[in-house]
Structures are given as C-alpha cells and as structure tokens.
Structure 1
Amino acid sequence: MHLGVFEVLGPQVGGTLSWPHPRSAGANFTSLDHWVHLAQVIDRAGFTFLFLADTFGYPTADGELAETAAARGINFPTLDPAVVVTALARETERLGFVVTSPTGLDHPVQTARRFATLDHFTEGRIGWNIVTGSAQDVVAELFGHDEMVLHDERYAMADEYVDTALNLWEGSWEDDALVVDRAAGLYADPAKIHRVSFEGRWFRSSGYFASPPSPQRTPVLFQAGTSERGRAFAARNAEAVFVQATTMDATAQAIADIRAEVAAHGRDPQSVTTIIGVTVVVAPTHAEAVARRREFEALQSDEIVAALYSHNTGIDLLSLDPDGTLEQVLGRGAAGQTGQTNITRFTGGDGEPAKTVREVLDALRGRGTRGFAITGDPVEVADGLERILDATDLDGFMLEPVFAPRDVEDFVDLVVPVLRERSRLPQVPTTGTLREQLSGRGSAHLATDHPGASRRARPGGAEPARTTASAPAPAGPPRQRTTPGSDR
C-alpha cells in the first residue's frame, strides 16, 4: 500500500479541534522545524508522499469570518504550502510532496513555471493536487470577482487550464534540447525549443516556455473530487485520486466508477492510484487508544462542525431547522455549488432517507472532512487497513493526523512494522521520482496513454497549436479571471 500524510499549513487538519491538546504541536505550524521533523519521520518510514492541502477561503457566517473559526483555528489561519516544499525536499531523501494549487487564480503559465521549479528543486518528487478551489464565494469576494462561477463550469475551465500547462511542460523543449556544452559555449539548441500555442474559451497562450525540462516534466497530477463532474475530470487528467468516501461500499463504488471512466478515455484503469483519508488513533493497547480518541472527541462541538461545514459547502447548519433536511437551503445562493460530496452523502437516495440537520451535525462531530476512522492497538489498525484495501480495490491511505505529529510517530513506530511483516509495505522503501514510486513503471514521465503525452515536442519543428475540446474559442479576448470552487 502507498502511505501519505494529509496536512495543511494551519493549526490542525480536517476542520476539527486538536491543537490545544498537550499531544499536539499544531500551534507550531509557522515553524519550519515543525514541518522538517514531520517530513523526516515519514521519509525514513517509507511513506510515499506528504500531501499539503490549501485554500484562500475560510469559514463564514452571514458573510463575515466565522467567530468559531477565528477563535478555535478551524481552517483559519493558513500559510502557502508551496513555499516550504524546497526546504523539506533538501532535508529528506525520497519523500514526495503533493501541493494543492487551484485552477483559475493564476494564469496557467505561472502555475507551469512554479511546478517546473519545484520539480527541479525536489529532483522529481513533486505532485500537483488540482482543485477548482474551496469556499469559492469567499474567494470571489477576496479576489474582487463579480460573482462565483458554478460547479460544472469551473471544471470545464480546469480542463482548459490543465491543457495549457501540459502544452508548456511537454511541448516546448525536446528531450535533448538542453546541451550545456562548456567547450562550445552552447547552452541549448534553439532548433529544439518550440513555440507552443493554446487557444480556448477561457485561456490562451502562445510563446516559448522558459523553464528547462524538469525530471518529471509534468508533476504527478492528483485530483480530489468524486462528484460526477469531478470523476470525469479525474478520468481525463488525474494520475492519482483522493477518493472522498467514508464507507467501504461507497469507496468501492467510487473507485470502480473512476476506473471505468479512465478506461473510457483510452487509459489503463489500473494506472490511476486511488487514495483515501484515514484517521488512525493507535496505542500499545486497545484501551489506551480508545481513551486517546475520547480525549479528541471531547474537544469537539456543534459550533466547530458548523464552521467547517460552512467553509466546505457554503451551508450554515446552525441557521437551519435542526429537524429539517438540507433541502431547506439547497439551490439558494452558494449552497450546493461547492463541497457536493459532503452534501449528497446526507441527502438520501437508494432507499435511504435524507439526514436531518441534527443528524448531519452528529455525524460530522469529530470527523469533519476526515475519511475513515480506525482506533485500536497496532494489530487492530493493520487489520482495519487491510480490510479496506481488500474490499475496495484501493491503492493506499493518507493519514489525517489528530494530534500531529505524535500520532504519525505512533503509527510509524507501532503499525508500520506490522504492515512490513505482512508484506503490505516493502522492507526497503522505494526510491526515484514521485511518479516512479507511485506507478512502479520505472519512468519519470507521463504514461504514453495519458492525454498529456501526445503534447510532447517532436523533432523536426514546432508543434501545432493546441485547442481544447471542451468549448470553441471565443470571438473576443478570453476570460482569464476565474473563481475557484470546491472540486469535492
């Protein structure tokens, strides 16, 4: 199994409260040493990657920063994760880093250069978690946009955004364009560097990509959405998918759907790595683990749940009738245009009734946006992880820390040895670029059946202009200002 850690440069993850607990060092998130320590711990343990979530948004109530969010540190404040990655790469040997970056706030050229730089400085250990954003109504106001762009349209924009970036990474430099011949004084062969062009409905670009090819050329493409449109986007673009599900049946169905759509795009369905989040509380004995989990749960409240849910979905649960369902607000304003997975899981279907607001609050208390939860001794935790793997066609897990980094250290000390004994983890951690570690293909570059591979520069001249299949090019200047929204 692949292992990662889900983190955010903030006081705590998952929209739950943990930083005040003595076991948590979350309040130290502004310290570089805090992140270096975590990265080194999981690097030595053989984890595949550290996943750094990000958003410009924050929970609101009546259009203002939610008091609970500010007072308790619920998805507020945050720092920029891309800035810390090069320092962490220097202090680790093989660990990959997945950085969340939205489609739309920057032009694709800026994003392409940023990730090319990160791929160079990490020696090919970088991934891009592609999101259309979160808390998009907040972000629209923060960035001075007139209005929020609706969910499915954001994904259409994202397809173009990724196409434009792929054009730059793959299409501008031939493999042997970089010469660096000191005797001849020749840095690069101009004949092997090509103008690349893209013209779509929302984005256009024409010119030469100034960043030389990095070890992977294109960062490993992650995506974290399991809405219908999110799955379609993943099937076309993603090499790894963070599946948003909390039951084995739902996880298995989501993975099956994603693999089927990947195959429909002419790609190998097993080439996509599927990951879910899991909150593990482990201790030497079952009783100790249960007691520790109860300490975490005692910190939670309805106000914390509501702040997180508002951030993720645009719905203020505490303003609704607790005996009613989410239908009382869906279709009004921003409600339902973000966090669709975290809405549809409570709206019923397939013979199941919709949950009341009170039931939603109870279901999310202590869980937030976290995935599965396993509490127990080392053998119980390993058993639980294996059961999920065997029942779902899953490829791995991201630990969503409760009391970071102590519970990650506990997992490394107590559970990793059990998983190695069972051959679920290699005795010697894998090495290479992030793409090589995830795919096992022995190639640092995109698979040949990925759409981006067709954009690779070929000898003999410039590549033709690329256009997106999602929409015709506009008659006038493209609208390059977009507002992100949650792709979950």
Structure 2
Amino acid sequence: MHLGVFEVASPQVGGTLSWSHPWSDSVRHREVGHWIEVARLLEDAGFDFLFFADGYGYPSVGGDLPEAAARGGLNFSGIDPMLLIPALAHATSRLGFVVTSSTGIDHPVAMARRFATLDHLTGGRIGWNVVTGASQDTVAALFGHERMTAHDTRYEIAEEYVDLCLKLWEGCWEDEALVEDKEAGVFADRDRLHRVEHEGRHFRSSGYFTVVPSRQRTPVLFQAGTSARGREFAAAHAECVFLQGTTLPHAAGNVADIRARAAAHGRDPRSVKVLVGATVTVAATREEALARRAEFEALQTDEVAAVIYAGNTGIDLTALDPDRPLSQVLEPGADARIGQMGQSNIDRFRRPDGTMPLVREVLAELRGRGTRGFTVVGDPLEVADQLEEIVDVTDVDGFLLEAVFSPADHRLFCELVVPELRRRGRLPREQDRPAGSGTLRERLGAPSARLAPDHPGARHAAALRGTGPGTREPVTA
C-alpha cells in the first residue's frame, strides 16, 4: 500500500468539525513547528507523502459568508501551505510533499517556476495536485472575475495550462545544457537551450524557462476530480489520482474507469496510482476506538454538514425539499451555477442506476462523514483487515488518511496500524525500498525520477532530443 496524509493549513479538514476538541491540535496550523512534528512522524513511519489541500474559497450561502462558517471555522481561514514545504523538506529526507494549486488563478509560467523551485528545494520530493478550482463562485468574486467559469471549460483551460507547464519543464533545457564549469567560466550551453513558443486559446508564452532542470523536472502530477470530465483529465495527465469512495462498488467502478481511460490514452494503466480517502479511528481495543469515534460524531450537526457542502458545491441543502432526491438541483430552472462547481461532491452520491438519495439522506451521511472517503474504526487488527479489503476489492493502490483529531490520529495510526500492515507485507521497511528511490516519483513505484515515456508530457523531451545539439528550434505545440 502507498500511504499519504491529507491535510490543510487551516483549522479544519474533511468537511467536518473537530478542531475545538481537546484531542485536536489543528489550531496550531500557523506554526511551522507543528508541521515539522507531523512531517517527521510520517517520515519515521514510512509514509510516502504529506498532501496539502488548498484554495482561496470559503462557504457561501446566498452570496455571502454564513455566520456558522465563521463561528465554527468551517472551511474558513487558512494559510498558504506551499510556503511551508521548504521548511518541512529541510527537516526530513525521504517524505514527499504534494500541494494543491489551481489552474484557474495565474499564468502557467509562474506555476512552473514555483514547482521547479520546490523540486530543487526538496531534492525531487514534490508533487502538484492539479485542480481546476474550488468554491469557484467566491474565488471568482475575490479575483474580480465577472462570472464563474463553466465546469467543462475549466478542464479545457487546465489541459492547456498543464501542457504549457510540461513544455517549460521538459522542452527548454536539454539534459546536457547545464555545464557549471567554474574553470572554463561556462554556466550553460546556449546551443542546448530551446525557445518555448506557445500560442493557445487561453495562454501565450514565448521565451526560455529560467529554472534549470530539477531531479524530477516535472513534479509528480496528482488529480482529485471524479466527475466524468475529471476522470478523463486524470487518465490523460495524472500519475496519481485521489478518489473519495462511498461504497466498495462505487470506488471499484471509478478505479476501473480511470485505468481503462488511461489505457485508451496509450498509457500503462498500472502506472497511474489510485488512492482513496480513509478516515481511520483506531485504538488499542475496539471499545476504545468506538468511544473515540463517538466523541467526534457528537460534534457534528446538520448545520455543519450543510455549510461545508455549500462551500464545495454551491448547494444549500437546507433550502431544498428534504423528501426529494438531490438530483432536484440539476432540474431545469434550478440555479445555473449548480453543477459548475464541486461536481465530484454531487456525483459521489449517484447510485449505480443513476438515481440519487433523498436530501435528508444526503445530510445524514454528510453529518458524520463530510467530504471524507471510507470510514474505518476498530482495533489495529480490525483496521488492517478493513484496509486490506478495500485494496483487494477496489484495486486501489493505497490511501490518503484524513484525521478527525489531527495530529493525534496520525500518531495512533503510526503506532498501532503501521506495524501490523508491515507484518502482513502490505508496507515495506525503509531498508527494503529499492536503491535510488529518493524522489517522490520513484517512491510511488516509477522506474526513474523522470516522466514515463508514455506520459503525454514526455513528447516535449523527445522533441527536444530530436532537434539535437547545435540547433535553436523552438519547442511548440
């Protein structure tokens, strides 16, 4: 199993409420020392990476911030986790770091520069969770946009955005371009640098990428959308896909669909790692674990569930008919913004036959679960059994753990579950990992630190090699 931890640099994670409980330490999210403790804990336990969700948005009901969101710290308030990563990388040596960044905010050149820098500063341990946005209505207003960009158009923009980033990372510097010969006074071989020319529908760029190639060149590409358009984007570009499973059949269907789509794009479907969210409550005994879970559930209310769901989807569940299906929000005459944001958190409730549960049923599920994935509760043996069942039935490659009491839940998992999974052969010991697996891409099972040859971004490197030394032909679309 591959293991990561899902976190946010804010009081709350996972669409639920728990920051105010004495067992939670997430109010320390503005302290770098807090995150260093978490990173070292995960590294010592052999986790693959620490994942930071991020975004500029917040819950909005009726076009404004609900009082309940501010009072409860519900997806409101937070800092930029990208700025934490150099400090966390300095305090660790093996743990990877994945950070969310949207394709709907700034220019690809700026994004490419930031992630190339992070790949240098982490020694090749960085990943980019590519998102098209979250809470798009509030983000559009914050950035002065006239209107929210439509769901499928955001993916069209993301396709071009990622492709331009790939051109910059892979298509400007040949492998031998960096010389750094002090005696000869030569920093770079000009004949091995190639101008990037991009004239697209949404972006233009002409020039040279100024950051020298890092260990991975391209960060490991993550993607978390499970709408049909999101799965297609993931199949084409993502190296690691994050799903939120509601049932074993639902998760298995999404995994199979992503792998089939990847194969249709000419990629090895097994090279796309698929992880699913899991909230694990573990203790030495089952009774203690159930009591711990009960402490969490006692904090949850319909108000909490509704406010956070509104922030993700634009849907105010309390304003809907509770005895009609959730699909009422997609009927003619409904708010046109619905379905244009947080589509994955609408589709997650869609049953195999295409129907949706009643609104009251959605609220009941969200009340204890929020936007989290599978719920796993028990003693160490029971938890290990459940995680193994999820892997074996759904064909996922591992988990993103979503703590309810952070970082206390991480500590319990590391102390109680990791040794059991290692005993069962589901997790390797650090000394058993292949030599040379120092980058995040290699840690996730890739044969090298670079993009796989069948990844669409590799064509830019291939085109670069095809131009050969001594030429200055531009790398174009």
Please say if 1:439 is aligned against 2:449.
no
Distance 2:213 2:296 in 1: 46
Deviation at 1:440, TM superposition (A): 3.9
Which of 340, 343, 348 aligns to 1:340? It is 343
Aligned pairs for 1:61-76 within 5 A: 61-76=61-76
Partner AA of 1:301 in structure 2 = T
**Contact 1:171-1:463 within 8 A present in 2 as well:** no
Question: For 1:302-346, what per-residue CA distance to the aligned partner results, in whole angstroms no more than 9, with x for missing partners?
Answer: 110011110111100111222222233324231111122221333
Distance 2:12 2:342 in 1: 20
Match of residue 403 from structure 2: 401
Deviation at 1:349, TM superposition (A): 5.3
Distance 1:347 1:214 in 2: 42
Which of 373, 376, 385 aligns to 1:374? It is 376
Match of residue 287 from structure 1: 287
* Root mean square deviation of aligned Cα: 1.2
Partner AA of 2:347 in structure 1 = T
Distance 1:223 1:463 in 2: 32
Partner SS for 1:206: strand
Partner SS for 1:389: helix
Match of residue 474 from structure 1: none
Match of residue 195 from structure 1: 195
Distance 1:302 1:117 in 2: 43
Please say if 1:466 is aligned against 2:471.
no
Partner AA of 1:466 in structure 2 = T
Partner SS for 1:35: helix
How many percent of aligned residue pairs carry the same amino acid? Answer: 60
Distance 1:80 1:422 in 2: 38
Distance 2:401 2:192 in 1: 44
Please say if 1:250 is aligned against 2:250.
yes
Deviation at 1:203, TM superposition (A): 0.9
Match of residue 18 from structure 1: 18
Distance 1:245 1:163 in 2: 29
Please say if 1:82 is aligned against 2:82.
yes
Please say if 1:392 is aligned against 2:394.
yes
Partner AA of 2:73 in structure 1 = G
Aligned pairs for 1:47-196 within 5 A: 47-196=47-196
Distance 1:427 1:86 in 2: 26
**Contact 2:173-2:192 within 8 A present in 1 as well:** yes
Partner SS for 1:365: helix
Partner AA of 2:340 in structure 1 = Q
Greater shift in the superposed pair: 319-328 or 340-349: 340-349
Deviation at 1:348, TM superposition (A): 4.6
Question: For 1:76-106, what per-residue CA distance to the aligned partner results, in whole angstroms no more than 9, with x for missing partners?
Answer: 1111111000000000110000010000211
Partner SS for 1:234: helix
Distance 1:134 1:81 in 2: 16
Aligned pairs for 1:358-369 within 5 A: 358-369=360-371
**Contact 2:231-2:258 within 8 A present in 1 as well:** yes
Question: For 1:176-234, what per-residue CA distance to the aligned partner results, in whole angstroms no more than 9, with x for missing partners?
Answer: 11111111111111111110111111111110000000110000000001111011101
Distance 2:473 2:76 in 1: 45
**Contact 2:196-2:206 within 8 A present in 1 as well:** yes
Partner AA of 2:476 in structure 1 = R
Question: For 1:391-450, what per-residue CA distance to the aligned partner results, in whole angstroms no more than 9, with x for missing partners?
Answer: 111101011011011110000000000011001011226441000101241x11000111
Deviation at 1:463, TM superposition (A): 4.7
Partner SS for 2:457: helix
Which of 356, 359, 366 aligns to 2:358? It is 356
Question: For 1:112-159, what per-residue CA distance to the aligned partner results, in whole angstroms no more than 9, with x for missing partners?
Answer: 000000000000000000000101011111100011111111101100
Distance 2:351 2:220 in 1: 35
Distance 2:216 2:47 in 1: 20
**Contact 1:325-1:347 within 8 A present in 2 as well:** no
**Contact 2:169-2:218 within 8 A present in 1 as well:** yes
Question: For 1:232-278, what per-residue CA distance to the aligned partner results, in whole angstroms no more than 9, with x for missing partners?
Answer: 10111110000132211111111111011101111111000100110
Partner AA of 1:372 in structure 2 = F
Which of 412, 417, 420 aligns to 2:419? It is 417
Distance 1:445 1:210 in 2: 19
Deviation at 1:160, TM superposition (A): 0.1
Partner AA of 2:451 in structure 1 = L
Gaps of 5+ in 1: 468-488
User: TM-score, normalised on structure 2?
Assistant: 0.95
Distance 2:192 2:30 in 1: 44
**Contact 1:225-1:244 within 8 A present in 2 as well:** no
**Contact 1:4-1:399 within 8 A present in 2 as well:** yes
**Contact 1:281-1:292 within 8 A present in 2 as well:** yes
Distance 1:357 1:39 in 2: 39
Match of residue 477 from structure 1: none
Distance 2:31 2:118 in 1: 21
The runs of at least 4 consecutive aligned structure 1 residues that moved more than 6 Å come to none
**Contact 2:123-2:439 within 8 A present in 1 as well:** yes
Aligned pairs for 1:234-313 within 5 A: 234-313=234-313
Deviation at 1:68, TM superposition (A): 1.3
**Contact 2:61-2:314 within 8 A present in 1 as well:** no
**Contact 1:243-1:251 within 8 A present in 2 as well:** yes
Distance 1:378 1:385 in 2: 11
**Contact 1:279-1:371 within 8 A present in 2 as well:** yes
1:464–1:193: structure 2 CA closer, same or farther, 3 Å change rule? closer
Partner SS for 2:444: helix
Question: For 1:350-397, what per-residue CA distance to the aligned partner results, in whole angstroms no more than 9, with x for missing partners?
Answer: 1x7531211110011121110001000000000000001111111010
Gaps of 5+ in 2: none
Higher relative contact order (CA 8 A, sep 6+): 1
